């Protein structure tokens, strides 16, 4: 398998809550140590969303997403980061991996991939 992965750019975005766990109800802790207590504010403490990608030879810049991500902001991120970075972090022609979030599979995104000759990893 080895060399096949040299041509894949993996990407994802993640929203982090600034006042504690990101909606997780369960977490691991060492039973031999005192239990930590997590609290959340009634109205939340805000959040930050980041997007990034990586391949065998490097990473894209970490992008801080302003507001909610929609199809237009997603393709702007790709245009600013995948197109210039792909030749630097892969071994030639590449496949782009993404999840199935609605912004990833929208008509706007599909059109952008086609127009920019970006092949998707299925």
Domains of the chain: 8-20+45-116 (3.30.420.10)
Pairwise pLDDT comparison (20 vs 10), residue with the higher score: 10
Q: CA–CA separation, 74 vs 98, rounded Å?
A: 11
Alpha-carbon span 52 to 60, nearest angstrom: 6
Query: What are the structure tokens assigned to 4, written together?
Result: 């096949």
pTM: 0.77
The predicted-structure confidence for 46-67, as pLDDT tens digits, reads as follows: 889 999 999 999 999 999 999 8
DSSP string, 6-29: GGEEEEEEEEEETTSSSS-S----
d(CA 90, CA 53): 11
Inter-CA distances, 14 with 64, 107, 114, 117, Å:
10, 22, 25, 26
Q: Specify whether the CB–CB gap between 8 and 55 falls below 8 A.
A: yes
- pLDDT for the residue numbered 26: 58
Cβ atoms of 48 and 15 closer than 8 Å: yes
């Amino acid at each position: 398998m080895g060399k096949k992965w040299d041509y894949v750019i993996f990407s994802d975005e993640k929203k982090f809550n600034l006042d504690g766990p990101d909606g997780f109800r369960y977490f691991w802790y060492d039973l031999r140590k005192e239990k930590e207590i997590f609290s959340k504010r009634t109205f939340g403490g805000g959040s930050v969303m980041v997007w990034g990608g990586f391949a065998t030879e490097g990473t894209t810049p970490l992008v801080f997403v302003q507001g909610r991500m929609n199809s237009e902001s997603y393709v702007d991120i790709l245009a600013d980061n995948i197109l210039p970075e792909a030749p630097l972090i892969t071994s030639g022609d590449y496949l782009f991996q993404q999840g199935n979030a609605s912004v990833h599979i929208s008509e706007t995104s599909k059109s952008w991939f086609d127009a920019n000759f970006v092949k998707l990893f299925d």
